Amino acid sequence: MNENISRLMDGEVDAQEFERICVEMKSPDAMHTWICYHVIGDQLRGARCVSPRSASRFRAALAAEPTVLAPAALRPRAAQVATAAWAVAATLAAVTVVGWTAFSMVDTPPTAIARAREAATVHAAQIRPQGDLPADYLIAHQEYSPSTSIQGLGPYLRAVAVTGNEPRP
């Protein structure tokens, strides 16, 4: 199933397969994978990551507009499967349409995102854990930053915030 989702995202499935995978996608597990893959993709491309809080915002927005139906929005696209252009469209649609539906249906999207982040870290060995900013570098940098001159001690807050994250001795 995971491989199918991956191929679907890459636009490598034909119309028939597309219908079948869409049916499989109705399971929360498949939805999780779908979200994970997209978040991983976004991470690898360096795109902004969806914050876990946006899930609740999506849910609220969706609740306010009960007429938004993802399958209806997706179906016309079935005719265009297997083209590169569609793959791009799929990514966008996935995040906007399917993503919305998924976030509203699946119970624990923040976990899914957390898992995806983890996966992205492992995959790319690229993303440093949050709060791991080198405070010393930051202070050494601020010495020559114009924003320090303009704002005085204000930017120092960043350094203090960072230092505050260090483990206690």
Partner 1 sequence: MTVNMHPPRRAARSAGRPSMRSLLAVSLTAAVVFAADASAEDATRWLERAAQAARTLNYAGTLVYQRNGHVETSRLVHLVDGGQEQEKLVSLDGPPREVIRSSADVRCYFPDAKIVQIEPRTFRNVFPSLSAEQARNLAQYYEARVGVSERIAGHWTQVMTFEPKDGLRYGHKFWADAISGLLLKARLIDDHGEVVEQFAFTDVAINEKVDRDMVKPSWAAAPPDWQLKQGSFGEMLPRETGWSASRLPGGFQKVMEGYRTLRGKREPVAQLVYSDGLVAVSVFVEPIALPAVQTGVSQQGGLNVYTTKYDDHLITVLGEVPPAAVRQIAQSVGRR
Which residue, 66 or 167, has its beta carbon nearer to partner 1?
167
Task: Examine residue 71 and tell whether it contacts partner 1 (CB under 8 A).
Answer: no
Contacts with partner 1 in 37-56 (CB under 8 A)?
Answer: 46, 48, 51, 53
Residues 40 and 120: beta-carbon distance below 8 Å: yes
Task: Examine residue 123 and tell whether it contacts partner 1 (CB under 8 A).
Answer: no
CA distances from 104 to 26, 69, 92, 100 (A): 13, 12, 18, 6
Q: How far is the CB of 36 from partner 1 (least distance, A)?
A: 19
Q: How far is the CB of 140 from partner 1 (least distance, A)?
A: 5
Buried (b) or exposed (e) across 114-125, using 16+ Cβ within 10 A? ebbbeebeeeee
Q: How far is the CB of 110 from partner 1 (least distance, A)?
A: 14
Largest CA distance in the chain: 63
Q: Pull the structure tokens for residue 140.
A: 């050494």
Task: Examine residue 107 and tell whether it contacts partner 1 (CB under 8 A).
Answer: no
> Residue 142 CB: number of other CB atoms within 10 A?
16
The region, left, alpha or beta by phi > 0 then psi within -120 to 50, assigned to residue 46 is left
For partner 1, the binding residue among 9, 87, 105, 139 (CB under 8 A) is 139
Task: Examine residue 138 and tell whether it contacts partner 1 (CB under 8 A).
Answer: yes
Q: How far is the CB of 42 from partner 1 (least distance, A)?
A: 12
Task: Examine residue 131 and tell whether it contacts partner 1 (CB under 8 A).
Answer: yes
Which residue, 84 or 153, has its beta carbon nearer to partner 1?
153
